[in-house]
Amino acid sequence: MAALNIKKGATSHSAYDLRDTHSDVESSHTLAVIVDNEAGVLARVIGLFSGRGYNIDSLTVAEIDHKGHRSRITIVTRGTMAVVEQIKAQLGRIVPVHAVIDLTTEAQPVERELALFKVQGTGEKRVEALRLADIFRANVVDSTLESFVFEVTGTPEKIDAFAELMRPLGLVDVARTGVAALSRGI
């Protein structure tokens, strides 16, 4: 008594339907959520993630169209295909949400994050920090005789790597913006 034989993807134009949503493999997805910039909209999005037990690895938000009162929320989340599909559908249900774009599924997106690192030290360590900062194309945006603040932009991985290198050299504070992302090409 086999199930009726149904052609996968026969009724859809989206490549998603050809993929197995039941896979147990978790992956990271960068979602762009276009919303009306109205009071409480960020709380709605965050409340959805906490209320339904989804992960947020990174979240950024800013108005991108002042006249149209539109904001773009970039969320990096993690889950199986089925969970990520559910997250997208749940986001799409929020009344002031206009679009949910799964940048990871559509194409490898361009992802950038900005971070500030305060590194304290003197002598050899201070020189080494400055040398490494140069390799990472970090800018020195503040300096005293005993400290630097470096500004680094890049992928989250690059920023993680920089943080690792700075730790033994006197890293005292980090501030990161979270990921901003756009799809490649047009």
Chain contacts with another protein (rule: CB under 8 A): 1-4, 6, 10-12, 21-22, 36, 39-40, 43-44, 47, 51, 82, 85-86, 89-90, 92-93, 95-96, 98
- Of residues 68 and 168, the one with the C-beta less far from another protein: 68
Burial class (CB in 10 A: 0-12, 13-18, 19+), 115: buried
Count of residues making up the chain: 186
Least distance in angstroms from the C-beta of 183 to another protein = 22
Least distance in angstroms from the C-beta of 145 to another protein = 44
**In this structure, are residues 63 and 70 in contact, taking their beta carbons and an 8 Å threshold?**
yes
Nearest to 118 by CA among 156, 162, 154: 162
What end-to-end distance do the CA atoms of the chain give, in Å? 48
- Of residues 17 and 106, the one with the C-beta less far from another protein: 17
Least distance in angstroms from the C-beta of 5 to another protein = 8
Least distance in angstroms from the C-beta of 6 to another protein = 5
Which residues on adjacent β-strands are paired with residue 180?
112
Least distance in angstroms from the C-beta of 51 to another protein = 6
- Of residues 8 and 131, the one with the C-beta less far from another protein: 8
- Of residues 106 and 173, the one with the C-beta less far from another protein: 106
Residue 154 Ramachandran class (φ > 0 left, ψ -120 to 50 alpha, else beta): left
- Of residues 97 and 133, the one with the C-beta less far from another protein: 97
31-51 burial: b if 16+ Cβ within 10 Å, else e? bbbbbebeeebeeebeebbee
